[in-house]
Amino acid sequence: MKKILVTGFDPFGNEPINPAIEAVKLLPNEIKGVEIVKLEIPTIRYQSLELIDQTIQAVDPDAILSIGQAGGRFDMTVERVGINQDDFRIPDNGGNQPIDEPVYKDGQAAYFSNLPIKAMVEYMKKANIPASVSNTAGTFACNHVLYGVQYLIDTKYPGKKSGFMHIPFMTQQVVDKPNMPSLDIETMAKGIEAALEAIIDYQAGDIVKGGGATH
């Protein structure tokens, strides 16, 4: 493995800042000899995927890890699966608000991440950062990118790997949000770095460890 592309969304939903791209900016440029390519993507349906597609063509990464904000979650969550459904509860930054529309009409019903999601969680926990596997990425821009990048791999870039991580609000975002969980941005960047180390170490597969949910 020579390169990993890491993407982070710009601010959305009336938030002045998005911890996804802010944490990505703090990542080192190299981890274990692997180049880390950082990319800010718009929270806009299809434009996000078009920019990722263009960047894949330009830099030819071995893996793509996308990061998104999930306000209300307590920990760093590695997503297992993206579904072929755009059902936006709020408009994206381009004013798009599709209801029950496929991401790609010719795509599969769902695509599973082919990153080592269990190892990513374990590496973050070993770094003393709360983390877990998530079995739903929602139906907004984050799922759109998780599903869409796997679609690109399935149809255009065989052999590459991709996946998605949600992160909580950063501390300064919850000053006016009582009882809302958050993590400081340095901790979240450290967590993403640990997850990237797992991606590098487990290129041939994943660890076998429970990480499921009862609901």
At residue 215 the predicted structure's pLDDT band, cuts being 50, 70 and 90, is confident
Residue pointed to by tokens 């982070």: 8
pLDDT at 60 over 90: yes
- 79 included as an active-site residue: yes
List strands edge to edge, sheet with 161-167.
30-31, 34-41, 3-9, 63-69, 161-167, 76-79, 131-134
Least confident of 14-18, 84-88, 152-156, 166-170: 14-18
What is the spatial distance between Cα 98 and Cα 96, in angstroms, rounded to a whole number?
6
At residue 115 the predicted structure's pLDDT band, cuts being 50, 70 and 90, is very high
- 122 included as an active-site residue: no
| pLDDT tens for each residue of 22-48 | 999 999 999 999 999 999 999 999 999
Cβ(98)–Cβ(87) below 8 Å? yes
What pLDDT score was predicted for residue 211? 87
| pLDDT tens for each residue of 117-157 | 999 999 999 999 999 999 999 999 999 999 999 999 999 99
What pLDDT score was predicted for residue 213? 87
pLDDT at 214 over 90: no
- 142 included as an active-site residue: yes
47, 95, 170 from 54: Cα distances, Å: 11, 23, 29
Of 79, 122, 193, 197, which one is the catalytic site residue?
A: 79
| pLDDT tens for each residue of 178-204 | 999 999 999 999 999 999 999 999 999
Beta-carbon neighbour count of residue 159 at 10 Å? 6
What is the spatial distance between Cα 85 and Cα 64, in angstroms, rounded to a whole number?
21
Of 22, 122, 144, 166, which one is the catalytic site residue?
A: 166
Q: Is 146 exposed, middle or buried (0-12, 13-18, 19+ CB in 10 A)?
A: buried
Q: Can you give the pTM of this predicted structure?
A: 0.96
Rounded average pLDDT over 48-67: 98
Judged by DSSP in three states, 163 sits in strand
| pLDDT tens for each residue of 64-114 | 999 999 999 999 999 999 999 999 999 999 999 999 999 999 999 999 999
Q: Enter the CATH code of domain 3-201.
A: 3.40.630.20
